[in-house]
Amino acid sequence: MCVGAERVKEAKVQTLKGEFESLMMKDSEKIEDFCFKLSGIVTNIRVLGEAMEESSVVRKILRAVPDKFLQIASNIEQFEDVKAMSVEELVGRLKAHEERMKGRSEQSEQQQLLLAKKWKGRLDKSKIKCFNCNIYGHFASECDKPRRKKEHC
């Protein structure tokens, strides 16, 4: 009976190790959420009596991040001692990068909206002909007249 229980335990460990290796962070996922999932798998492996080195988890996180983290992950691998780094330290660095990038993408979106408003404000609509009513001065999307039906060829 003990041999059977040992085999079940080994099978669970192998399944968990497979999950660990195949888990990849999605582009839309936050680093904290991904690491929470990963640490759950690692905890289960360790509970079953299998050793899981901290450096293995750190390397896995660096391999599993999406493209938006590749630059920081590469810098960490090149300039830091990954063997001595804790998961908490790595997650902290990746979260800091995530926050910095979040601020930049929000700024970029705001700049694009401002540019679109400026462009729209400078546009001379007196030469624009509406496709709906055929009157100059506005776009069909801004037309107050009822929508005309499209003619088919």
Q: What is the pLDDT of residues 14-23, one digit of tens each?
A: 999 999 999 9
100/127 same-domain check: no
Q: Same domain for 43 and 69? A: yes
Residue 69 shares a structural domain with residue 80: yes
Whole-number pLDDT of residue 135: 93
- Looking at the structure, do residues 27 and 74 belong to the same domain, yes or no? yes
**What is the rounded distance in angstroms from the CA atom of residue 81 to the CA atom of residue 107?**
34
Domain count, the chain: 2
By the 8 A CB rule, do 54 and 86 touch? yes
Q: What is the largest CA-CA distance in the chain?
A: 88
Q: Per residue in 96-137, pLDDT tens?
A: 998 888 866 666 667 777 777 776 667 778 888 999 999 999
* 3-state SS assignment for residue 80: coil
Range of the domain at 138: 123-153
User: 106 and 69, same structural domain?
Assistant: yes
How high is the pLDDT of residue 133? 92
Per-residue pLDDT tens over the stretch 31-76: 999 999 999 999 999 999 999 999 999 999 999 999 989 999 999 9
Residue 92 tokens, joined:
């902290």
Q: What is the pLDDT of residue 153?
A: 55
How many angstroms separate the CA atoms of 92 and 32, rounded? 9
Question: Is residue 64 located within the same domain as residue 87?
Answer: yes
Q: Cβ–Cβ contacts within 10 Å for residue 91, how many?
A: 20
Residues 60 and 94 in one domain: yes
Average pLDDT across the chain, whole number: 87
Q: Exposed, middle or buried, 93 (CB in 10 Å: 0-12/13-18/19+)?
A: middle
Whether the CB-CB separation of 25 and 34 falls below 8 Å is answered with yes
Residues 59, 132 within the same domain: no
Are 8 and 76 part of one and the same domain? yes
Does residue 129 share a domain with residue 68?
no
99 plus 136 within the same structural domain: no
Q: For residue 113, what pLDDT is reported?
A: 74
